[in-house]
Each structure stands twice: as C-alpha cells, then as structure tokens.
Amino acid sequence: MISRRDFLQVAAGAAAIAGVGAPLSAQAQRQAIGQDDLLRFTPKGQLTILHMTDCHAQLMPLYFREPSVNIGVGEAKGLPPHITDTEFLNTFGIAPGSHHAYALSSADFTALARTYGRVGGMDRMATLIKAIRAERGADRTLVLDGGDALQGSFTALQSKGADMIRVLEALGIEATTGHWEFTLGADRISELFGDKEKPGSSRIAFLAGNIRENEFEDTVFKSTKMFEKGGVRIAVIGQAFPFTPIANPRWMMPKWSFGIREADVRKNVEAARAAGAQLVVLLSHNGFDVDRKLASRVDGIDIILTAHTHDALPKPIRVKSTLLVATGSAAKFLSRLDIEMKDGRMADVSFALIPVLTDAIAPDPDVAKLISEIRAPHAKMLATELAHNESLIYRRGNFNGTFDDLICQAMLSVRDAEISLSPGFRWGNSLLPGQPLTWDDLYTATAMTYPNCYRVTMKGEMLKTILEDVADNLFNADPYYQQGGDMVRVGGMGYTIDINAAMGRRISDMTHLKTGKPIEADREYVVAGWASVNEGVAGPPIWDVVAAHLRDRKSIRISDNQSVKIRGAI
C-alpha cells in the first residue's frame, strides 16, 4: 500500500505539473471560465477513456456540496479521499476560491456556489463528451459509466429507469455496471440489460462478473467486454456493488448472490490478458477503499474506475502498477484519461477531472431536447415550491447532513415519534440559503422503490445495536467488511461514537434530546424510519411525510447538528 508520505510527494508533484492550483485571477468569476478552459488538454497516446459515475439520475443542473467529514480508518486513515477542505486543497495544490476548490471541497461552499453557479446537467455532460470524441475520434474514445445511473429522480422512478437509458445512450455510453439499478428489481434489470446469454432493450453493455445465480452459482451477466480503440485491445471488466443484497432489499433480487469475489476478478483479468487484452480496466462499483485493497492484491489491472463512495479526486492514486480514478457523483465531473501504449503495455497517462460547471458549458441541443421531453409531463409539479429555505441544505458526510436532519425532523413531527432513523445515503442535491425547496428537490433526496415510512416501538437496546452495526460497517479497519453508505442519521437522539473502539463498543452516551435523559436499554420508544430493507413495510412514502412537514412550516432553517460527538477521528 502507498504510504501517506509517498502519496503527498507524488500528489504535490503531479498537481504542480498539471497546474490545478494556479491562481485564477481573471477567471475568478464564473463568466470568465469558458467551455474551452474546461476542455483544455494536451492529447496523448493512442486512446482516451471518459468516465462518469454515480449520477443518480440527475438530468438537470444542481448544487452539490462535497463532504466536510470523510473519515478513513486502518491503512486508509489520513489518505485521500479521507481528507477534506483546507487539507484537501493543500494536498493537491488547489487555490482557495478557484473553480477547482468549489467543485472539490465544501470550504466556503455557499459563497463559491453563488460565484460559479450550478454543476452538472446531462446536456452539458453531452457537450463535453461530444467535444472530446470529436477531437480524438470515436475510434479512439471509450465512454464508460460506473453505475448508480437509473435511480435518484422522480422521472427515473416513474419510468423505472427508462429515462436514464435514453440519456445514457444519447451520451454514447458503451458499458456500465450497477448498484441502485438492482432496486428496480431483477426482472426490470433483465429487461433492460439482458444477461450473459441475451441482450436487453438497452444498447449499453452491462458488465457484472461478481453476480451469480444462487442455485448453481452460474454467472448472471457478462464480466468482460473487449473494445478496440486506437488500435489497442481494451478489456473492460465490470464489478457491481458487492453488498447490494445487504445494503438494499434482498427480496428485490432473490435469485442472485453478490460479493467482492477477489479470486474471480483475478481469473477475469488473467482471461482478458490471455485473450489479447493490452489494457485492462476494472469498471468498479466497489467503493474507493475496497478498490484500493483489491489493487494491492490483484495484479494485471491497469486502471480501476472506482465508484459508489462518490469520491472525487483531481489525480489518480497509484497502488502498485494500478491507477485508481475517482470521478465523483451527480454528473458533477467527467474524467478524461489519455493513454500512451508502448510494446503492448500502458506506458504513460495524462488525466483531467473536468468539473461540469453548468454556466460555462453550452447545452447540447439534442440531449437538452430529450431531457425536456422526459420532464415536460411533470414539469409543473416538480417546480412547485413546498417551503422557502433559509439555510444550507446538503447531504454528504459520515454522520449527518442538513437534508437528512430535515427528513428526521419531518418523521418526528408527522409520524408523532420520539426518535427517527434515516439511512446514510450519499445521493441528493444541495440547496443554498434563499432557494425554494421544490418537489424536484425533495425527490432527488428520496426517490426510490421502497420509500415507506414506518412507525414502530423499539427498545433502547435495539437502537444501540442498530448504531453499532452501522458503525462497524462504516469504520471496520478492513475495507472488505465496509458494506457501503454513511452512518444512519438520527433525529430526537444524541450519542457519542468512538471510531477506534472495538465492535459493539463504539456507541455511548445515548440521550433522548427532548427530555435530556439517557436512553434506557429496556424502555420502548416510538421510532419512525424509512427505506427498510424488509418486504411489506407499511407506511406513507417518505416524500409525502416530508412534504406535509414543509407545507406546515412554509419556511425552514436547519441548524448544524451538534448531537453526535465523535472521538478518534484524528
């Protein structure tokens, strides 16, 4: 594994060469940053790989704040992506106040958002992809998506992912893999993507070599697809999220098993090389730390395009001979890798993480028209204001985000609960103070196929068990036991967490905030929550619960959450 000292030396040198930290001076305002500036790149080698990931069905431009808390444990402690804000900017030589600082950090987010504007928008993404493809040639450009594309918006929910398939095809995506896609159900995934024997309705290759059929353990999907770009044979190996049936409802994919399956990855790499692959790319939805460990143990992978944990890094991280590329989420970034091959091997790489600054990029007319067609039947409803927002609303961070706090408050109020629980999802947009909160915004944080908001009684002992289980998932020192997501969000209750404590001993000082009294192990509390992985959960959809709360208040202000005390983070 690369040491922190070695990484800092490499990153500092790479940042200086790339000039990502150069002061913007005249470019300090968004009007001065143009499409040509974002696309400026000296081409290299025989081929270009473009990568986007974790867009979560976001068709439209939005605000998206990166996390201010992203704690690493074990060998990953203190290494990117587990550094934030000033430390992140200093590590990569990024000038504070620059558009790179705005895109990659939460530092001064509100002020910089007002300067640089929204990010993303699939019509802008299309413009970037088409421009690079035109420059390099379609026969030298490979365009890949890392998964989590078909879930996260109202139109994706209503169309069961069909809207995003149309958009991804319009972008020219050539292969993808999955995670939240599976929450559409196994039948729908088979309909869209087929299996290893037959194609689905989509023209996009769906690669997931780590999914097997339960009874005979046959692989369900193709693991690998060979591409030839610029005269180079490229093997793209797909790796779906290994813990999908744990993090999401098992009953939605009852006949399939998942896993990291390191031995299978090794066999797929060896098979690809034996079949003549000169370049091996792992299109992964494992999460960054899992991929970092995998790269240290499996030889022969040139590039891992990592996803799931929504990390965005301005430079690849090298582990042995493998480059790890992290492209962020929400259609906020596009990664470009130009690759030079010599003697049948990868000899050199040039890289750019391109921030998709909406105001700086002309919308592609064809994709803009397609998005308008998709959203037109619902446009009036989606634009309806539910409440006026007076604070920064965001969802990212290991322990809480203000959007999650709002959801927890809504459940406490509307469901008449003492304590509320909300999953540590990473998807969802941000809102600036003064923005209206619309149905569109609410769906970006809640649109999913198991949204029911339950109301149950739960003993204090069970609440502690839940927190301990999620904490071990998040802070297990072995990445192969980190099963995705951030800490469950809690309303009506505070606690202390010791990140470095043993399993089952991390959580203490659980307190009922309304009474100020300790949570009693044997006492029953009324608990509201949503997104249970159990089948047949009763209750209204969470968006209706939150909408009722917002309409009742008309204006909202969410203060920073101080109810979670953290030990052992430094």
DSSP track, 409-475: HHHHHHTT-SEEEEEE-----BB-TT-EEEHHHHHHHH-SS--BEEEEEEEHHHHHHHHHHHHHHHH
Cα separation, 70 vs 91, in Å, equals: 15
Where is 84: in which H helix or E strand? none
Interatomic CA distance for residues 72 and 507, integer angstroms? 18
CB-based contacts of 305, cutoff 8 Å, min separation 6:
49, 51, 53, 144, 146, 281, 282, 283, 284, 325, 327, 335
Give the span between the Cα atoms of 4 and 20, in whole angstroms: 21
H or E element that contains 318: strand 317-319
| Placement of tokens 């040039």 in the chain | 350
Distance CA 211, CA 219 (A): 6
Query: How far is Cα 195 from Cα 252, in angstroms, rounded to an integer?
Result: 17
Which amino acid, residue 326? A
Element (H, E) at 5: helix 4-18
- Give residue for tokens 């990024």: 94
Distance CA 187, CA 529 (A): 28
Pairing outcome for strands 564-567 and 303-306: unpaired
Give the residue from 228, 205, 223 showing the smallest Cα distance to 270: 223
**Could you give the CA distance from residue 394 to residue 431 in angstroms, rounded to a whole number?**
7
Residue 283 belongs to what H/E stretch? strand 279-284
**Distance of alpha carbon 127 from alpha carbon 173, whole angstroms:** 14
Residue-level pLDDT, tens digit, the chain, 570 residues = 444 333 333 333 333 333 343 333 334 455 589 999 999 999 999 999 999 999 999 999 999 999 999 999 999 999 999 999 999 999 999 999 999 999 999 999 999 999 999 999 999 999 999 999 999 999 999 999 999 999 999 999 999 999 999 999 999 999 999 999 999 999 999 999 999 999 999 999 999 999 999 999 999 999 999 999 999 999 999 999 999 999 999 999 999 999 999 999 999 999 999 999 999 999 999 999 999 999 999 999 999 999 999 999 999 999 999 999 999 999 999 999 999 999 999 999 999 999 999 999 999 999 999 999 999 999 999 999 999 999 999 998 899 999 999 999 999 999 999 999 999 999 999 999 999 999 999 999 999 999 999 999 999 999 999 999 999 999 999 999 988 779 999 999 999 999 999 999 999 999 999 999 999 999 999 999 999 999 999 999 999 999 999 999 999 999 888 999 999 876
Residue 368 phi, psi dihedral angles, 5° rounding:
-60, -40
Q: Measured between alpha carbons, how far is 503 from 506 in angstroms, rounded to an integer?
A: 7
Whole-structure pTM value: 0.94
310 in the Ramachandran plot: left (φ > 0), alpha (ψ -120 to 50) or beta?
left
Q: Please choose, from the candidates 111, 228, 240, 221, the residue with its C-alpha nearest in 3D space to the C-alpha of residue 177.
A: 240
User: Going from the N-terminus, what domains does the chain have, and what CATH number goes with each?
Assistant: 4-19+44-373 (3.60.21.10), 383-567 (3.90.780.10)
